[in-house]
């Protein structure tokens, strides 16, 4: 049995009034991929921040032993020097600098204080080869997609001679294909002797690559499972995370599907960036009353773009196509008109485009339906508060009160606020774009329940999701979108992971 590269013993970390880590023990074997799982707020990030020196020595109690030495990191630089590198969920690259410049940011290749650019780009090329990224190191980071940026981030860590890589939700923003590539890269790096810690909500990935799994719950280590020794199953991990057996990951509902209530016909749009390039090509979609329709596909396939071009023509140029509701054509050319026609779009990125983080829950919830709480443009504060309270209770938003800034809520609760905001507009059609991204299993279940309740009330729900099991689990019917066109329409019975994948890969029409 290999020795431990890292041991964290009896780690206790307190914030004023809360003990976030209560005596956590965490050991990682050299050369292994060790998964760290737990619900949001379980203490994973705090533990990693303790490890990397974000919370300096002295602000926590307990011991960190790395490579046999007791460590007392005062800042991130200390931990990097020791060989620990974090690849953050939110990438920390500078968009307007080149790959090469980014790779050596902070430890530039210099000779006598002057940057040696030839050496820099030469070394950069080697690093890119190590992560299997075929890009010119002079390329600006802003021109790379998220998957490639992630690889640059990893290359950057390798450039610092990292021995232990910490991946914080590395695949949260990646497509299935890119995620798969990333996981393979992790295995490759493992063969070269690197140790990785993987923090992820995606249990299938975890069971696929990791050698051992540690579960945190409420700041405590629940258990550590080792591959080959313990029986590892998703159900067991989930049970450990939430502390209860989750019999079903998707709540059941009685589907009562009515007539066609919402229809997009022959929708096309050009790319706003590249002149004359058709980004969306002749897309037609139907949704019945009370139906949940999933839009599956790779990231960048055009699903978000479709939603945004329909909802207020926010994306694309030369938009053609028609939108029908209850058989009548409706105008959705501005967001106001779309909202007036009872359409709601819950954005993909809740922090960036869904919420005003500095404002409180109340303000955020009522933002899209101020007309419901105002008369002659004058807001009735009391009415607003009572509505906000109503939604807070109905959606079980965990907070002290409705005056808490949404920036201080957990991901799942933030998502509930966004949902509440749109439910308050009393929509007939809801387009949900990645509504469960980056939130924990328990909160996901609650979001699914909300979706089911909406469908049960006869609303049309369109759900965009990049997680296959989720699309399969929640949808009554699935459209697969690839390259800006519909490449498949599958009923609940037809839809299996394999058939959907086929439509994605085949790039030709199947099913209907």
Partner 1 sequence: MRINAEKKKLPVNLRQYSMVIALIVMMVLFQALTGGIFLKPQNITNLILQNSYVIILSIGMLLCIVSSGSIDLSVGSVVAFIGALLGVLIVQKGMNVWLAILIALGAGVLVGAWQGFWIAYMRIPAFIVTLAGMLIFRGITLYVLQGMTISPFPKEFLSISSGFLVKTGTGKLDMTTMTLGVIAIVICVAVSVIGLQKKKKNGYQCPSMAAFWGKNIVAAVAIGLLTVWLALYNGVPVLLLIMLALIILYSFFMKKTVPGRQLYAMGGNEKAAVLSGVNTKKALFLTFVNMGVLAALAGIVFTSRLQAATPSAGQNFEMDAIASCYIGGAAVMGGSGSIAGAVVGALVMGVINNGLSIMGVGSDITQTIKGLVLLAAVVFDILSKKHTVKA
CA distances to 206, 293, 461, 467, 495 from 487, rounded to whole Å, are 30, 15, 20, 18, 13
Evaluate whether 313 touches 334 at the Cβ level (below 8 Å): yes
Among 193, 247, 400, 493, binds partner 1 (CB under 8 A): 400
Using rule CB under 8 A, residue 352 touches partner 1: yes
Among 38, 41, 420, 438, binds partner 1 (CB under 8 A): 41
Among 92, 94, 356, 497, binds partner 1 (CB under 8 A): 356
CB of 132 to partner 1, least distance (A): 34
Contacts of 331 (CB under 8 A, 6+ apart): 323, 337, 341
Using rule CB under 8 A, residue 403 touches partner 1: yes
CB of 347 to partner 1, least distance (A): 6
Residue 189 burial (10 A CB sphere; 0-12, 13-18, 19+): buried
- State the binding string over 277-316 for partner 1 (x if CB under 8 A, else -): ----------------------------------xx-x--
CA distance 393 to 416: 11
Among 70, 92, 94, 379, binds partner 1 (CB under 8 A): 379
Using rule CB under 8 A, residue 59 touches partner 1: no
Q: What is the DSSP string of 19-38?
A: EEEEEEEEEEETT-EEEEE-
Using rule CB under 8 A, residue 54 touches partner 1: no
Cβ-based nearer residue to partner 1, 254 or 358: 358
Cβ-based nearer residue to partner 1, 4 or 374: 374
Stretch that binds partner 1, among 109-117, 350-358, 492-500, 501-509 (CB under 8 A): 350-358
CA distance 352 to 354: 6
Using rule CB under 8 A, residue 378 touches partner 1: yes
Using rule CB under 8 A, residue 396 touches partner 1: no
Evaluate whether 147 touches 175 at the Cβ level (below 8 Å): yes
Using rule CB under 8 A, residue 333 touches partner 1: no
CA distance 411 to 319: 34
Using rule CB under 8 A, residue 149 touches partner 1: no
Q: What is the DSSP string of 55-94?
A: S-TTSEEEEEEETTEE----SHHHHHHHTEEEE-SS----
Query: What is the radius of gyration, based on Cα positions, of the chain?
Result: 24
Among 27, 65, 367, 510, binds partner 1 (CB under 8 A): 367
Evaluate whether 282 touches 485 at the Cβ level (below 8 Å): yes
Binding site for partner 1 (CB under 8 A): 15-18, 41, 311-312, 314, 334-336, 338-339, 345, 347, 352-359, 363, 367-368, 370-371, 374, 377-379, 381-382, 385-386, 399-400, 403-405, 408, 421
């Amino acid at each position: 049995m290999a020795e431990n590269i890292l041991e964290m013993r009896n780690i206790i970390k307190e914030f004023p009034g809360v003990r976030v880590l209560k005596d956590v023990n965490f050991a990682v074997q050299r050369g292994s991929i060790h998964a760290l799982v737990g619900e949001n707020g379980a203490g994973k990030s705090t533990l990693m921040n303790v490890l990397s020196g974000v919370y300096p020595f002295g602000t926590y109690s307990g011991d960190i032993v790395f490579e046999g030495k007791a460590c007392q990191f005062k800042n991130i630089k200390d931990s990097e020097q020791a060989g620990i590198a974090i690849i953050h969920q939110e990438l920390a690259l500078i968009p307007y600098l080149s790959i090469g410049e980014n790779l050596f940011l902070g430890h530039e290749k210099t000779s006598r204080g002057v940057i040696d650019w030839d050496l820099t780009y030469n070394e950069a090329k080697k690093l890119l080869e190590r992560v299997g990224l075929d890009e010119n190191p002079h390329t600006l980071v802003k021109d790379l997609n998220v998957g490639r940026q992630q690889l640059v981030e990893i290359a950057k860590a390798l450039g610092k001679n990292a021995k232990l890589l910490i991946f914080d939700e590395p695949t949260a923003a990646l497509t299935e294909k890119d995620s798969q590539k990333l996981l393979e890269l992790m295995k490759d790096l493992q063969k070269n002797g690197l140790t990785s810690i993987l923090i992820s909500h995606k249990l299938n990935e975890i069971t696929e690559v990791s050698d051992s799994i540690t579960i945190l719950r409420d700041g405590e280590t629940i258990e550590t499972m080792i591959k080959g020794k313990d029986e590892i199953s998703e159900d067991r991990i989930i049970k450990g995370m939430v502390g209860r057996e989750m019999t079903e990951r998707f709540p059941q509902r009685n589907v009562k599907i009515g007539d066609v209530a919402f229809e997009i016909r022959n929708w096309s749009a050009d790319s706003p960036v590249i002149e004359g390039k058709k980004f969306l090509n002749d897309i037609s979609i139907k949704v019945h009353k009370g139906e949940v329709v999933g839009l599956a596909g790779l990231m960048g396939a055009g699903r978000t773009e479709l939603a945004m071009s329909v909802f207020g023509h926010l994306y694309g140029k030369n938009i053609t196509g028609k939108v029908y509701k209850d058989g009548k054509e409706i105008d959705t050319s501005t967001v106001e008109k779309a909202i007036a026609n009872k359409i709601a779009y819950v954005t993909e990125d809740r922090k960036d485009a869904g919420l005003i983080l500095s404002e409180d829950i109340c303000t955020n919830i009522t933002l899209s339906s101020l007309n419901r709480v105002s008369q002659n443009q004058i807001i009735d504060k009391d009415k607003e508060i009572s509505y906000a309270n109503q939604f807070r209770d109905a959606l079980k938003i965990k907070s002290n009160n409705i005056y808490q800034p949404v920036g201080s809520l957990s991901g799942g609760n933030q998502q509930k606020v966004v949902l509440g905001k749109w439910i308050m507009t009393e929509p007939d059609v809801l387009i949900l774009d990645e509504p469960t991204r980056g939130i924990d299993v328990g909160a996901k279940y609650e979001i699914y329940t909300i979706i089911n309740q909406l469908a049960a009330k006869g609303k049309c729900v369109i759900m965009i999701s990049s997680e296959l099991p989720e699309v399969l689990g929640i949808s009554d019917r699935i459209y697969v979108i690839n390259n800006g066109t519909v490449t498949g329409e599958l009923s609940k019975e037809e839809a299996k992971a394999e058939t959907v994948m086929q439509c994605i890969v085949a790039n030709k029409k199947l099913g209907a």
